[in-house]
Structure 1
Amino acid sequence: MSRTVAEIVVETLIDAGAKRCWGIVGDTINHFTDAIRRSDMRWIHVRHEEAGALAAGGEAYMTGELAVCAGTCGPGSLHFVNGIFESHRNGAPVVLIASDVARVEAGLGFPQAVDQRKVYEQYSVFCEYISHPDQARRIVTLAAQAALNKGGVAVVIVNGDMFTEKTSDALDWSVHRPAPVLRPSDAELDRLADALNGADKVTIYAGIGARAAHDQVVALAQALAAPVVHTSRAKEFIEPDNPMNIGMTGILGNKAGVEAIDRADIMLCLGTDFAWTQFYPDGKHVIQIDRDPTHLGRRAPVGMGLVGDVGPTIDALLPRLTGDRDRAHLEHALKQWDEDRTAYATSAEEPDPSLIHPQAVAQLLDGLAAKDAIMTADGGSPQVWLLRHIRATGARRFLISLLHGTMAAAYPQAMGIAAAYPDRQVIALCGDGGMTMLMGDLLTLVQEKLPVKLLIFNNGSLGFVEMEQRVEGLLDSYTALQNPDFAALAKVCGLSGWRVDDIGDLEPAMTDWLAADGPALLDVRVNRMELVMPPHVKPSQVASTAMFGVKAVLDGRTKEVVDLLRNNFFR
């Protein structure tokens, strides 16, 4: 029996595990969306394609299963670009159906014609046209297989008229998902064990590649008396139930993590490709274990680079480790970690009830949110408050734009997560800049009945950029935001809404907001004069901030300088 290409594409995606498709209907995908209408797949209508790509990426990242988005030719497909790049960098298995103009018009400068391959092949695991109806099932199967096994976005390009073509191709193409065990050779493991057995101070640095190896990482740390530092992306996987955990390194990290790496004889990197080279030790021995050989030595020179998955590698390594360990290095790091956490807690103390520190908002949320809540955070300061003040429980999940660093990712990603997990508490920590960038999809939350809880850190500015400018000794420029009353706006859009201007009103409002049925928004006016302090403040940063103070005073902004000092240095 002959079927249309549109029907085969939809059927193949469903067979590969896809349950939803995010997008906006129109001309070149009308036959595709009609095939979805007649299938078990759910079409979710967004108001901007970028939000659709972010939502598909959020769904796929959290579930590990295939998600789909689809766009019309030209502007429709191009609007997906930033969300596709974000999702791909997160390793989310997404298939984008990017349509093109009819074949008879291809190559002739027809309106809305775009070379989709040139746009998407630079950041995808698969990018190919369906060039003949008999290819439809095979191409879509290969796309889904690449997305699921390589971890990233696969793009299938289809001319609008191709969807209506029929084929009787009955070959049984299907997606394969192998699960090989990958570890270094015995000789390499012996060499690794010799190095670790001979080292006095080992610090483990665990990344997202260790996500499935929590217990093995803890066991290795105990065997080596090694503190465990984790990347930001690995927080939810490595932090819970880990007595050796001492936080993070990097600009968003803490003193214990930075110092433990700096003091170590060996920095043992497990499944991490952390990009900020200034946080690797100078002249120290780095050993890196990663499943991708192209990552070895990419960020810092390594004394030993081994290919393997973290869990199987540790399982094979542990019997090779010998000798008692001096715990002084570990105890020093754990003591500093206690001091770091105390500093985080006191940073939220409010000297003025009309002044709400964003840290206080995050800490209250940590106590009130469900122990299995799923949280997203916008790039900039909301991600800092989540990483520093929201505890990983082992059941909570987090998604932050840490590799692509885009604005406005939090609540669109939360839409996709809420669609996949309708019975879980899904919370988006939003900046006011991020919220206003893609505000139109508040309507999607209502129309598609997605019960996302939106928390807006409303400081009236692009706060992280403002901080960057000040630390560089510049007057902050063009960062101010004239915001609406977000709570009132939410109510107009059909969401429940709360606004908080005083710290005394925060807890009851947050309690009601979390308990609300359906999507809800909490707008909290937080302190604008808030610096995200790095683990070590360099003299050059102090000098640059002082230079900002001088310039601001000369510019008639003395009150801002006083507030900045009072709220960040003299609390």
Structure 2
Amino acid sequence: MKQTEQTVAELILEQLSLFGVKRIYGVVGDGIFGLIDALAKQDTIKFIAVKHEATAAFMASAEAKLTGKLAVCAATMGPGAANLLNGLGDAYADKAPVLAITGQAPRNKIGTAFKQYVNQQELMKPFAAYSENLASQDAIIELLHKAAQTSLGQRAVSHLSIPKDLFEKIVAVQPRRLPSVIEGVSTFTKESLEQAAAIMKTAERPMILAGAGAAAAAGAIETLAASWGAGILTSLGGKGLFPDSSPHLLQGIGEGGNPYAPDLFKQADVVLLAGTTWWPEGYVPARARIIQIDKHFDKIEKGIPAELGITGETEEVLPFLIEELQGFSPSKEWAASCGDAKEKWSQKNEQEGRTSGYPFYPSHIVRAIEQTVAADAILTLDTGDVTVWMNRNFRPNEQTVLFSGYWRTMGFGLPAAMAAKLEKPEKQVVAVVGDGGLQMTLADLLTAARYELDITVVVFNNEALQMERDKLKAAGQKETGTKLTNPDFVKMAESCGWKSFRAEPDSEIEAVLAKALNTPAPALVDIPTAQAFFPGTK
């Protein structure tokens, strides 16, 4: 059979399509003109043109977090590649499978003083589990497969730099699918988990800390909590896994978590970590026996003092542990303590959500969001004061929450919302952002308008980098640079083609939010927000 000749760029797109890639996020630059030309000549993969390469990488990271599939961003050489780094750092830190494709100097100029040249493998080294420069057009399929398999197998960032003169080279090699992988059930047996069960049976004050990796095991975790007599705490990634009505759910831990949980958690004698690597210092027990379940336990780099690690899916492990704990007699005193912490926080949370005043108190805004967003909405959070208030007061139903977990970068919220809407157009998508975070990607309001993305952006507008201000005050240090010079977000958004709303002093925030959420176009809600000192800031 005669092989069809294609350019390298055309072959890249065909191969990515076989990987399931639907879109590439990026900014046009001459280092990738060959790829842009190939994109313009087909309609299988869509190029999403953004205003800054960091936005492209944020969008790829958010898509990968949402789907678990390979997401792709692209940029030109030099400054374009460098601008990707913040978003790639987010994907690296949160283990999102992202492939970055960057242009590079022509092959005969690599290593010289050619304009914009930099050794991109060294540039990407801190974030990319795999980074390679294409040296021959005939190697493109092999390199793409290595990159995709690394990203998907390790939930990591991969990177390919491609000399600009290679994109239009003719190549006769053919694309091929990734090998099918059958995800079999791990070989757990009652006997293999006896050590874990034995540790759990010593517990008088058990606690479960659950995260996003336990999404498929939420029901089993509640069953285990009931039979073991444990409270359930969640990382921010685990927010929404359990209904607020769950009798064992104590809500979050760490900054913005249940303020009554840390003292209780520090008394725990056995802790089961399920699908999370969150272990916030200052909130955790010092001497508890810790069992950690994680599919990627062998790749975990966080310093959790676990006594026993179990590599596997939480939903595969828990049935055996539940069976082993049949007949276990949980401590009624501990269960009462957990119930008391839950009830105290429930009452305080409800009270905080009714805090009146203008500018609006952050908890009041969070409660209004909670009462107006759809039960299955996708919420994207920016990093900053808005994150901790949402963690503290938002009581999720079945919403999906996307955020910058370990990288904690400002500017994530708007790009993540755009990516979520492109991937899930049938879902309501709401970005909850601070004024500082939004300003970092403000130009990409135009991107949402360009692609007619029906998203809603809710701005906590307190005219300050409030989290930094709070922490400076708590440390007894003087502040400078925390006051923001804000534009009129309503006029700014309208000039970009958005529908805009502002909560006025006599406004019912819920009514304003409802108007925005029911607007079939990009909509922004500017909410003047009180500069409230976050409780417990350290």
TM-score, length of structure 1 as denominator length: 0.89
- C-alpha distance in 2 between matches for 1:247 and 1:81: 33
Using the TM superposition, give the Cα deviation of residue 116 of structure 1 relative to its aligned residue in structure 2, in angstroms: 1.0
Contact 2:250 / 2:338 at 8 angstroms: preserved in 1?
Answer: yes
SS at 1:375's partner residue? strand
Matched, 1:337 2:342: yes
Matched, 1:445 2:448: yes
**Letter aligned with residue 32 of structure 2:** I
Within 5 A, what are the aligned runs for 1:458-537? 458-528=461-531, 530-534=532-536
Number of the residue aligned with 1:348: 353
- C-alpha distance in 2 between matches for 1:372 and 1:80: 31
Using the TM superposition, give the Cα deviation of residue 21 of structure 1 relative to its aligned residue in structure 2, in angstroms: 0.7
**Letter aligned with residue 409 of structure 2:** T
**Letter aligned with residue 464 of structure 1:** M
Using the TM superposition, give the Cα deviation of residue 239 of structure 1 relative to its aligned residue in structure 2, in angstroms: 4.8
CA deviation profile, 1:267-319 (whole Å, cap 9, x unmatched) = 12223222423322122322223333446795343333333321111122222
Contact 2:208 / 2:274 at 8 angstroms: preserved in 1?
Answer: yes
**Letter aligned with residue 9 of structure 2:** A
Contact 2:371 / 2:510 at 8 angstroms: preserved in 1?
Answer: no
Q: 1:296 to 1:128 in 2, by over 3 A?
A: closer
Contact 1:273 / 1:295 at 8 angstroms: preserved in 2?
Answer: no
- C-alpha distance in 2 between matches for 1:273 and 1:185: 25
> Which stretch shifts more, 232-241 or 8-17?
232-241
Number of the residue aligned with 1:4: 7
Q: Match for 1:245 among 237, 243, 249?
A: 249
CA deviation profile, 1:83-104 (whole Å, cap 9, x unmatched) = 1111222222221111101111
- C-alpha distance in 1 between matches for 2:301 and 2:39: 46
- C-alpha distance in 1 between matches for 2:8 and 2:299: 39
**Letter aligned with residue 86 of structure 2:** N
Within 5 A, what are the aligned runs for 1:41-440? 41-170=45-174, 172=176, 174-182=178-186, 187-239=191-243, 242-294=246-298, 298-323=302-327, 324-352=329-357, 354-394=358-398, 396-440=399-443
- C-alpha distance in 2 between matches for 1:2 and 1:518: 43
**Letter aligned with residue 509 of structure 1:** V
- C-alpha distance in 1 between matches for 2:61 and 2:40: 22
Contact 1:513 / 1:522 at 8 angstroms: preserved in 2?
Answer: yes
Contact 1:288 / 1:296 at 8 angstroms: preserved in 2?
Answer: no
- C-alpha distance in 1 between matches for 2:175 and 2:163: 23
> Which stretch shifts more, 506-515 or 172-181?
172-181
Q: 1:184 to 1:533 in 2, by over 3 A?
A: farther
Contact 1:274 / 1:299 at 8 angstroms: preserved in 2?
Answer: no
CA deviation profile, 1:306-360 (whole Å, cap 9, x unmatched) = 33321111122222224232333123212211211221222233453x3310111
Using the TM superposition, give the Cα deviation of residue 197 of structure 1 relative to its aligned residue in structure 2, in angstroms: 2.0
Using the TM superposition, give the Cα deviation of residue 420 of structure 1 relative to its aligned residue in structure 2, in angstroms: 0.8
- C-alpha distance in 2 between matches for 1:69 and 1:297: 26
Runs of 4+ deviating beyond 6 Å: none
- C-alpha distance in 2 between matches for 1:391 and 1:344: 9
Matched, 1:32 2:35: yes
Unaligned runs of 5+ in 2: none
CA deviation profile, 1:412-431 (whole Å, cap 9, x unmatched) = 11111111111211111111
SS at 1:156's partner residue? strand
Q: Match for 1:14 among 13, 17, 37?
A: 17
Contact 2:366 / 2:394 at 8 angstroms: preserved in 1?
Answer: yes
Q: 1:277 to 1:176 in 2, by over 3 A?
A: farther
Structure with more helix by fraction? 1
Using the TM superposition, give the Cα deviation of residue 151 of structure 1 relative to its aligned residue in structure 2, in angstroms: 1.4
- C-alpha distance in 2 between matches for 1:397 and 1:297: 26
Contact 2:252 / 2:391 at 8 angstroms: preserved in 1?
Answer: no
**Letter aligned with residue 505 of structure 2:** D
Over aligned residue pairs, what C-alpha RMSD do you find? Answer: 2.1
Unaligned runs of 5+ in 1: 542-571
Contact 1:5 / 1:133 at 8 angstroms: preserved in 2?
Answer: yes
Q: 1:507 to 1:191 in 2, by over 3 A?
A: closer
**Letter aligned with residue 325 of structure 1:** P
> Which stretch shifts more, 383-392 or 476-485?
383-392
SS at 1:213's partner residue? helix
Aligned residues with identical type, % of pairs: 27
Using the TM superposition, give the Cα deviation of residue 183 of structure 1 relative to its aligned residue in structure 2, in angstroms: 6.0
Contact 1:428 / 1:453 at 8 angstroms: preserved in 2?
Answer: yes
Q: 1:488 to 1:171 in 2, by over 3 A?
A: closer
CA deviation profile, 1:470-528 (whole Å, cap 9, x unmatched) = 11112332200121110011111110111223153433322211111210111111101
Using the TM superposition, give the Cα deviation of residue 459 of structure 1 relative to its aligned residue in structure 2, in angstroms: 0.3
- C-alpha distance in 2 between matches for 1:298 and 1:511: 41
Using the TM superposition, give the Cα deviation of residue 68 of structure 1 relative to its aligned residue in structure 2, in angstroms: 1.3
**Letter aligned with residue 336 of structure 2:** E
